[in-house]
Amino acid sequence: MSTALSPEQRDLRDAVADLMTRRSPEQEVRRLMAAEPGYDPAVWAELAAMGLLGLTVPDEFGGSAAGASELAVVSEQLGRALLCAPYIATSVLTPYLLLALADTAECAEALPRIAAGELVTTVAFAEPGAARPPELPSTVASQAAGGWLLTGEKTYVLDALCAERFYIAAQSPEGVGIFAADREAAGLAVTPLTTIDQTRKQGQLTLKETPARLIGSPGAGGAALDEALDRAAVALVAEQAGGAMHVTQMAADYARSRYQFGRAIGSFQAVKHMCVDMLLDAQSALSSARHVAAAFDASDPDRFADLALAQAFCSDTFVSTSAANIQVHGGIGFTWEHPAHLYLRRARTDAQIFGDPAWHRERYLRLREEM
């Protein structure tokens, strides 16, 4: 296993970077974050045409079955550009979840459509009070004559407003199961959450005896969800690293071009040292993202402990670098019109959606204690 990019991975990186430059410049990010559905279907189709929506999908289901390293390479670029799209929910979390559940029928029905950009899905795992899935969901699945009925409330659901299908974690008599319900299902209501980050929209899901299909076996949901969240976290840390690298570059560029007291502010050590500390952490985040991707591709036995450290570190780093970027920019960084705050908003969200840094640090300690 190697963290060095192969020629194919470099080509992939350059192609995605080029797409982001053309299709996700700041004015597009601002246009999409201000309105529903929060993404551009034409860009989504372009991502599908490039094979990026089927990156995590096996060949037999219409994807390209790329590895975690390719996913990380792509995610770095999406993170840099603050792409507004349901990428992690639909193209990363959903395929990993369905594959972990080993439900061939659902895989055959949903994954080819996801890879083709024809179906937007999300996974509803969190409930009020915590971003991580609860051990015992209060959302319950009960069996009725016609099948399963779900009742309860899910929240922090990524891209809930544009999703056409929800994969919902609910407590069944046999344990946690994953159930599929389409948007128009009876008793299913989506309420938008007012989020600080409008580039990654979230919603609340209310379920009242909503008919749903069981995916996989009824007790397999908890483990499958944990596995999917770990594998999807490889993409999230890469997005965070990409974002951290981008704001570091922004700060250094500004420090070179902004003049006060007759000199570039980057010549003042107080500013210069802030930029270097950003560089140290952003580069370290990038190394973390590349390392955990390689570790997952190699099924390295340390990959979960490494991922826990990487998730804590990349979350903290994206937040601290995007905050420092505002400080380096001074007054202009305090204005809505300047993009610096968009990154801090994204960073603060990314540091919560798959669990906060303290949760990952505690997980690391538990894994180490077991060794």
Binding site for another protein (CB under 8 A): 2-5, 252, 255-256, 263-264, 266-269, 271-273, 275-277, 279-280, 283-288, 290-291, 306, 308-310, 312-313, 358, 360-362, 364-365, 368-369, 371
CB closer to another protein, 141 vs 286: 286
CB closer to another protein, 193 vs 358: 358
Interacting residues of 336 by C-beta distance below 8 A, sequence separation 6+: none
153 bridge partner residues: 206
Q: Assign residue 330 a region: left if phi > 0, alpha if psi is -120 to 50, beta otherwise? A: left
CB closer to another protein, 49 vs 365: 365
Cβ atoms of residues 250 and 325 within 8 Å: yes
Cβ atoms of residues 161 and 37 within 8 Å: yes
Smallest separation (angstroms) from another protein to the CB of 251: 9
Smallest separation (angstroms) from another protein to the CB of 316: 8
Smallest separation (angstroms) from another protein to the CB of 310: 8
Tally of CA atoms within 13 A in the half-sphere of 290 that contains its CB: 14
CB closer to another protein, 106 vs 316: 316
Give the Cα separation of 288 and 231 in Å (integer). Answer: 14
Smallest separation (angstroms) from another protein to the CB of 272: 4
Smallest separation (angstroms) from another protein to the CB of 70: 16
CB closer to another protein, 111 vs 286: 286
Cβ atoms of residues 293 and 13 within 8 Å: no
Smallest separation (angstroms) from another protein to the CB of 58: 28
> DSSP code of 59?
G
CB closer to another protein, 267 vs 335: 267
Closest to 176 (Cα-Cα) out of 222, 143, 140, 208 = 222
Smallest separation (angstroms) from another protein to the CB of 5: 8
Biggest CA–CA distance in the chain, Å, is 79
- 96, 237, 238, 292 from 231: Cα distances, Å: 7, 11, 12, 10
CB closer to another protein, 68 vs 252: 252
Give the Cα separation of 354 and 348 in Å (integer). Answer: 12
